[in-house]
Amino acid sequence: MMGRYTRTTDHDRLVERFGATVDRRIEPTYNLAPTDSTPVVTDAAPERFRWFRWGLPGDDGPIINARVETVAGRFPGAVGNRCLVPVDGFYEWPDDGPPRRVAFADDRPFAVAGIYDRVERTVEQVGLDAFGGDDDPGPTTETVEAVAILTTEPNDVVAPLHHRMAVVLPPDRERAWLDDDLDPAAVADPYPGDEMTAHAVDPAVGDPSVDRSGLLDADDGT
């Protein structure tokens, strides 16, 4: 599973790394959580970053992950909408001990595989009737662009922490993933763990409202 991640890489480095322009500055985040807005590179416009909500709408809450083995059957409308989600680490919670941040040893940014969809969402409007007036605008709809991150079997670094991990794409497979003719099974193998590490972080990462660089330490004292 991938339920929180980091994107601490400098804006200019991200733009260079993914070869994409962006309409606003990409600020560092140390604890990106479901429903947050995140930049992605899509199959439809790979030359620029777009901002999507993390979590496809679901009956029981946002769907933040999709199994690569079953994504085609479960999300037939979205599996053809491919994207790259730039990250530089993700958090996992083992049964014992503090949470861990999984990242490359050199802390380089990388892409995880995503799918996305555009959905219409009903939004209730508050009119004057709520304050004793007669004006009731009724519900309206808005278009939401949302992303889910693909998961697969864990590598040897993640396996002690969780039974699933994000589909980490090798750089030479990123553009291939954006081709909707590519079978998801082609990216199902877990990224080898020999370049990755998992180190303890501040347990405060469990609070989605906390986003500070000190989270990367086991205990930042705050």
How do residues 71-115 score in pLDDT, each as one tens digit? Answer: 999 999 999 999 999 999 999 999 999 999 999 999 999 999 999
In a domain, residue 139? The reply is no
Query: Can you give the residue range of the structural domain that contains 74?
Result: 5-118+144-216
Q: What integer pLDDT is reported at residue 191 of this predicted model?
A: 98
Q: Who contacts 125 (Cβ-Cβ below 8 Å, separation ≥6)?
A: 137, 138, 139, 140
Q: What angle do CA 179, 185, 189 make, to 5 degrees?
A: 110
Rounded CA gap, 52 and 47, in Å?
A: 16
In tens, the pLDDT along 160-170 reads 999 999 999 99
Q: What integer pLDDT is reported at residue 142 of this predicted model?
A: 81
Low-confidence ranges of the chain (pLDDT < 50): 220-222
In a domain, residue 124? The reply is no
Q: What integer pLDDT is reported at residue 141 of this predicted model?
A: 82
In a domain, residue 132? The reply is no
In a domain, residue 126? The reply is no
CA dihedral 14, 18, 19, 24 (to 10 degrees): -50
Q: What integer pLDDT is reported at residue 5 of this predicted model?
A: 99
Q: What integer pLDDT is reported at residue 125 of this predicted model?
A: 61
Q: Considering the entire predicted model, what is its pTM?
A: 0.90
In a domain, residue 125? The reply is no
Q: What is the CATH number of the domain that holds 52?
A: 3.90.1680.10
In a domain, residue 14? The reply is yes
Buried b (16+ CB within 10 A) or exposed e, 195-219: ebebeebbebbeeeeebeeebbeee
In a domain, residue 89? The reply is yes
Q: What integer pLDDT is reported at residue 45 of this predicted model?
A: 97
Number of independent structural domains in the chain: 1
Q: What integer pLDDT is reported at residue 218 of this predicted model?
A: 83
DSSP result, 160-187:
TT-S-EE-EEPHHHHHHHTSTTS-GGGG
